[in-house]
Amino acid sequence: MTHATGNATWADTPATSSLISAAALEKDEGAIDSLYISEYGSKTRIVRPLFTGMITSQVVAVTADYWISSGVQVIKDTDSGWVVPGGTTPSYYQIPFSGRLWDIYWRACFQQSPAIGGAVAAKICLGGINVNANTIATDSRAATTGESYPLCWRPGLAGLNAGDKLYFNAYSTGTNNMGPCFGWTYPNITIRDAGPA
């Protein structure tokens, strides 16, 4: 039949020639769910895990090993992973879930270091505070009369599981002050989910 509008003849609704099965719709939705899990680690998340914090005011005289235990100002902690037990017990970041890659960054800032010829260092430890058995990243710098910035960086670290703990260490061969440095440079820690493992 020809219509004055020029439209084609109406077809039956629903058109039996182009039915979409429930199985096909489930397959499409499953693909979207998989992409969402790949991006965020879970269907119920809306952001990837991220922790960033810095020591903005505290100055610590570091002699030998010093474990970050207090003084960290939390800037962002999507999963409440930063744990501060209190006192001198080392603080740590607890990995929220398994199956992801993690970018881990720790920069210590030593100011007006008096131990000329000595060294300062930063370490990231996994699962405990034994620097010989648990260190997964380390960096050392010569201590000078100005400033030194040891920096640990582990991009795309695989194999971490939910509940794993990351500890952060500063070290000095003599007594050096760690804290905010010239130009508003702070000791800082960043941990972020870098995607699926």
Q: What is the DSSP string of 76-95?
A: EETT--EE---TTSPPEEE-
pLDDT at 1 over 70: no
**193 near 41, Cβ under 8 Å?**
yes
Token pair belonging to 9: 């003849």
pLDDT in tens, 3-51: 777 788 777 777 777 677 788 888 888 887 777 777 777 777 788 899 9
pLDDT in tens, 60-87: 888 889 999 988 999 999 999 999 998 8
Please give the C-alpha separations between residue 149 and each of 51, 61, 70, 144, 188, in angstroms, as whole numbers: 21, 15, 20, 11, 11
- The top-level CATH class assigned to 50-196 is mainly beta
Omega within 30 of 0 (cis) for the link into 14: yes
pLDDT at 187 over 80: yes
Q: Please tell me the distance from the alpha carbon of residue 79 to that of residue 101, in angstroms, as a whole number.
A: 16
pLDDT in tens, 110-163: 886 666 668 899 999 999 999 999 999 999 998 877 788 999 999 999 999 999
Mean pLDDT computed over 85-96: 94
**60 near 179, Cβ under 8 Å?**
yes
- Report the 10 Å Cβ neighbour count for 92: 24
pLDDT of residue 167: 98
HSE-up of residue 119 (Cα within 13 Å, Cβ side): 7
**192 near 103, Cβ under 8 Å?**
yes
Q: What's the chain's length in residues?
A: 197
Token pair belonging to 98: 């398994």
pLDDT at 188 over 90: yes
Task: Please state the pTM of the whole predicted model.
Answer: 0.82
Helix (H, G, I), strand (E, B) or coil at 144: coil
**151 near 106, Cβ under 8 Å?**
yes
DSSP string, 62-78: EEEEEE--S--EEEEET
| Position 2 confidence tier, pLDDT thresholds 50, 70, 90 | low
